[in-house]
Structure 1
Amino acid sequence: MRTISPRLLASWQRSENYGVSLEDVQPTFSGTYDDESLFVECGREVLTDLHDTLSSEPVGLMLTDADGLVLNRFSGDRQLLHALDDVHLAPGFSYSERQAGTNGLGLALADRVPTLVRAEDHYTLSLRLYTCAAAPVFDPVSGRLEGAVNLTTWSEKASDLLLALAQTAATSTANLMLARSQGRNPRRVTRGQVFRIEGLREQSENAPLRDLSDVWNKAVTRTVEALTAGRMVAAVGERGSGRATLLAQAVRQVHPHDRLFAVRSPAPRDTDSWFSVWTPELSRPNTGFVLCDVDDLSSPAAERLRTMLVGERTSDATACPVSAEHFDAIPLPLRGLVETVVQVPPLRERAADIMPLANHLAWRARRREVDFTTSASRALTDYAWPGNVEELAQTVREAASRTDVVDVRHLPPEMLSRSEHLSRIKAFERDEIVRVLNRPGATSESAAAELGMSRATVYRKLAQYGIQLPRRD
């Protein structure tokens, strides 16, 4: 007798709850998608090479976004292509689990792990002519789920290697993305550290976080009002913008004496240990949680978490707000609990917050006051901060570890340049120009001599790289 895996049973149950047809797949057609992203560019190149190798095989190769939208499709088998058109497994159609029921790419995206769904495993009968293998692709720098590689063939064809091919293509796509992102280091996870649960302490009296912008304070006030009224709150915005900090500040105002923990989402394979570590505390009085990045949770984990939040929290329990990039990214089981959504603007839209945050972060790094020159303050305030507060924190920590008075020469060279997407050689040249010109007492003549350039060339390079050297104090 065939054994049905728990993952497959859970997916079938979700498909039924979503109201997916048992007879025919009826996915939603979008027709528009971003075909110029780094993920699409690299995925297309990887699948094109793989298609050249498999051109004589009846295999459809597809790239999808994180919502299951099919972005492109390759196959040398016309009969298979026509058949895939009949079930709408084609560019522009969404094949998420919610839209098409249990299928390879939908289940891979829901659980965020490589998945093989054979003919009889599909929820909808019209898909049981096929076997599908899919592997999710994560951005190697941010760790964000970008989409999936999906391989589909006829159900009677041998499929033992299909999943391995999908995993190899997904890995190749991520590696190519890293190579083309100018060598930025991927997000590192310490061995054995698959998620974080941190106790959030009250701010030190020596380094209070004060004098923040009106837009930040209004967001905190709105969150406090919602929590006081007993409503479930979601703070949404770009990663690193301070969503968890905002929620923690608000919870502290409403429940100043309670224990408070920040809970980071786990890797899919570590969901069980994640639940076992912190959820026993859910029923404890005077204990609250800020659930960070819930958009990283798989659908089954979100459903399980919803059950616990609804069933194990007492009426007087401390609030349990969540954070995500945007409201629609919150898994549906948790989205239904959210009653108030608070938008957290990115740091580039809160210039008034940059120096108060920098001073606070510098004190945390050194445990004493660290000064910033006017030039450094101007450079920090003028920078766009694509990495938001997390990037500011790293920049300030590195600068404060080297000096008690931070000047522009202690800041990364790219902060003084408007140029982007430079090759490594050009980026090195830009950094050298900035380094030499930021030496105390440096002049254009001395910099040109050290760099082996004429003064005219130095000026031309400053314009080419968009280097803006702040005025000296």
Structure 2
Amino acid sequence: MERSAHEVAVPARLRASWQRSERYGAPLDEVEPVFTSTVDDGSLFYECGHEVLENLHQTLANEPVSLMLTDSEGLVLSRLCSDSTILRSLDRVHLAPGFYYSERNAGTNGLGLALADRAPTLVSAEQHYCAGLWGYTCAAAPVVDPATGVLLGSVNLTTWSQSSKQLLLAVAQAAAGNTAALMMARGSGRTPRPAPRGEVFRVYSDRTPSALPLSQGWRQALAEAETAMAQGRVLAVVGEPGAGKTALASLARRSIRPRERVLNARPPAPRDADAWLALWAPELGKDDTCVIVSGVDALPASAAEELADALAGVPASAFTMTADDHTAVPEVLAELIDAVVEVPALRYRPDDIEPLADHFAGRRRFTPAAMRALTAYQWPGNVKQLREVVRQAARADVIDTRHLAPEVFSGATHRLTRIEAVERDEIVRCLTQPGASVAKAATMLGMSRATIYRKIAHYDIKVPGR
């Protein structure tokens, strides 16, 4: 099969894209994009873009439109869509997270051309170079870093080719603009706390490290929780965010009642408090069921009062509470608490880092240098941060220092601006490459050795072996 720009009336930009696609050797019949399991979902661009698309998705939830975020190379980072039919169809052409959809990989398509020309683009039906994409209309708009002008990626909206497309490109442009605006608003380095969503889910035993050889600090807290529960006391488990409060409460319950069902109810947004409580309150008091109510110190006063009323009529064995700070627990709930157990922060139990990291890594293993870096770090985000760092690094079978997040090598005590964080990350990336040295890193970054030494000291960068 041969494609020619004369077969379909196309604008000059599309014609040029077809020509590039032909030079690249892009497939004509079936899309065969490159796949990677490495997707950067920790950047400010991803955070802001995904948030914008999630809000847009709520508006378009009943429409057969797939909302996607890609990086500057056309790698699909995320995809949001509620229409199962179009999702299955997109899966067949690999328009899904982890696949590259640049012109070079997929020929002329909306997001690929938007990235190539750095301009909003609409590609519909037979305007696509590959016949496998003729069933779709793709509208995409590039996202440019508002501070540096660097191309970061694109926002892409895909629907059926026969669907109305008049507003599709405008919506894509608005989403791209909102992403850039949100990045600018957050570019000072301040990281907003995730909005509470009030999830309620079951805690399974295989998700908690019950058999790990953890430290005395953890074992003591666990023993105190088990004792309080065995005595029928209302327990509050407290500690820093991410320290493992829910995990400890769940392990303690199962040590007493191994076959018990454990539910975790996380705090909701204030406007959703009534629906949140109605969702899981009927589970209270059921035989062999315990509810761990998380973050009670973050509840609005009205929600705390309703929760206290619901808890007052059930036995102590039916629930456990967690909080970051027991002194901030609303008074109506604090009056119910008979015992408080504190989970030590991870920095106070460094012996737990290695077994937890191995547990999170599964079958993958760490090099000695990588493990030294993990155990030397202070982990301000506690176990939750460790789990996330290992999850990102575990795309490699053997995890070395170069696979770890740059934050692990920095002991900077002040909050970094976005530009500082990028600079620190680049220095760490260069220093963790095989055979790297300060001199080589300076050359790669275009800095003098004196400057890079000063930067290393400024960010308190510590790389094992350097």
TM (norm. structure 1) is: 0.56
> 2: CA distance between counterparts of 1:429 and 1:394?
22
Q: Deviations over 1:100-123 (max 9, x none)?
A: xxxxxxxxxxxxxxxxxxxxxxxx
Q: In the superposition, relative to structure 1, how do residues 309 and 380 fare at CA in structure 2: closer, same or farther (>3 Å)?
A: same
* Residue 387 of structure 2 corresponds to residue 380 of structure 1: no
| Structure 1 pair 263–446 and aligned structure 2 pair: CA distance change class (3 A) | same
Q: Is the 8 A contact 1:230 1:319 kept in 2?
A: no
1:397 aligns with 2:391: yes
Query: Residue 411 of structure 1: which of 369, 388, 404 is its match?
Result: 404
Asked whether 1:429 is paired with 2:429, we answer no
Matched-pair contact (CA < 8 Å) for 2:202–2:262 = yes
- After superposition, residues 244-393 of structure 1 pair within 5 angstroms as 244-311=246-313, 313=314, 315=315, 318-363=317-362, 369-393=363-387
Structure 1 residues 463 and 302, CA, compared in 2 at 3 Å: closer, same or farther? closer
TM-aligned CA distance change 1:370 to 1:322, over 3 Å:
same
The equivalent residue for 1:115 is none
Deviations 1:24-53 (A, max 9, x none): xxxxxxxxxxxxxxxxxxxxxxxxxxxxxx
Is 2:249–2:320's contact at 8 Å kept on the other side of the alignment? yes
| Residue type of the alignment partner of 2:411 | R
Does the aligned pair in 2 maintain the 1:208–1:360 contact within 8 Å?
Answer: no
Letter in 1 for 2:352: D
Q: How far, CA to CA, are the matches of 1:252 and 1:215 in structure 2?
A: 19
The equivalent position to 2:437 in structure 1, one of 443, 448, 463, is 443
* Alignment partner, residue 465 of structure 1: 459
Partner in structure 2 of residue 213 of structure 1:
215
**Do the aligned partners of residues 426 and 303 (structure 1) sit closer, same or farther apart at CA in structure 2, a change above 3 Å counting?**
closer
Q: 1:452 aligns with which of 441, 446, 455?
A: 446
- Distance apart, 1:302 and its partner CA: 1.8
Q: Name the counterpart of 1:234.
A: 236
Q: 2: distance between equivalents of 1:396 and 1:423?
A: 24
**Superposed displacement of residue 283, structure 1:** 2.9
Distance 1:318 1:423, change over 3 A: closer
Structure 2 counterpart of 1:21 = none
The AA in structure 2 aligned to 1:272 is D
**1:3-14 correspondence runs (5 A):** none
Q: Secondary structure at the match of 1:261?
A: strand
1:187 lines up with 2:189 in the alignment? no
Instruction: Using the TM superposition, give the Cα deviation of residue 426 of structure 1 relative to its aligned residue in structure 2, in angstroms.
Output: 3.2
TM-score by length of 2: 0.57
Distance of aligned partners of 1:434 and 1:309 in 2 relative to their CA distance in 1, 3 Å threshold: same
Q: Which runs of 5+ in 1 are unaligned?
A: 1-174, 364-368
Q: Is the 8 A contact 2:235 2:321 kept in 1?
A: yes
The code of the aligned residue for 1:354 comes to I
Residue 209 of structure 1 and its aligned partner are, at CA, apart by 4.5
Structure 1 position 301, deviation (Å)? 1.9
Assess if the C-alpha contact under 8 Å between 1:354 and 1:381 holds in 2.
Answer: yes
User: Equivalents in 2 of 1:440, 1:248: separation in Å?
Assistant: 42
**Paired residue type of 1:260:** V
Instruction: Check the 8 A contact 2:188/2:418 in 1, yes or no.
Output: no
Conserved 8 A contact 1:178-1:186: no
Q: CA deviation at 1:430?
A: 2.2
Q: CA deviation at 1:452?
A: 2.0
Counterpart in the other structure of 2:74: none
Compute the displacement of 1:204 (Å). Answer: 6.6
What is the Cα-based RMSD across aligned positions, in Å? 2.4
Q: Equivalents in 1 of 2:398, 2:243: separation in Å?
A: 26
Letter in 1 for 2:189: Q
SS at match of 1:234: strand
Report the alpha carbon displacement of residue 329 of structure 1 after superposing the two structures with TM. Answer: 1.0
Please name the residue that 2:21 is paired with: none
For the 8 Å contact 1:373–1:407, the answer to whether it is kept is yes
Contact persistence 1:399–1:406 (CA under 8 A): yes
Residues 82-101 of structure 1 aligned to structure 2 (within 5 Å): none
**Offset at residue 463 of structure 1 (A):** 2.4
Once residues 243 and 343 of structure 1 are traced to their aligned partners in structure 2, the CA distance between those partners, rounded to angstroms, is 8
Deviation at 1:309, TM superposition (A): 1.7
Secondary structure, counterpart of 1:470 in structure 2:
coil
Change (3 A) 1:208 1:234: closer
What does the per-residue CA deviation read over 1:186-238, in whole Å, with 9 as the maximum and x for residues that have no partner?
5266xxxx311111111279x75411110100100011011001001101111
Task: Identify which of 199, 203, 217 aligns with 1:200.
Answer: 203
In 1: Cα distance, 2:417 partner to 2:275 partner: 42
Secondary structure of the structure 2 residue equivalent to 1:198: strand
What do residues 269-328 of structure 1 show as CA deviations (whole Å, max 9, x unaligned)?
A: 1122112211111132111111100112222222222222222x2x5x744110012222
Q: State the Cα distance separating 1:265 from its structure 2 match.
A: 1.4
Is residue 255–residue 318 contact of structure 1 (8 Å, CA) maintained in 2? Answer: no
Q: Which residue number corresponds to residue 162 of structure 1?
A: none
- Residues 232, 442 of structure 1: alpha-carbon distance in 2 compared, 3 angstrom cutoff: same
Percentage identity across aligned positions?
A: 43
Unpaired runs of 5+ residues, structure 2, are 1-181
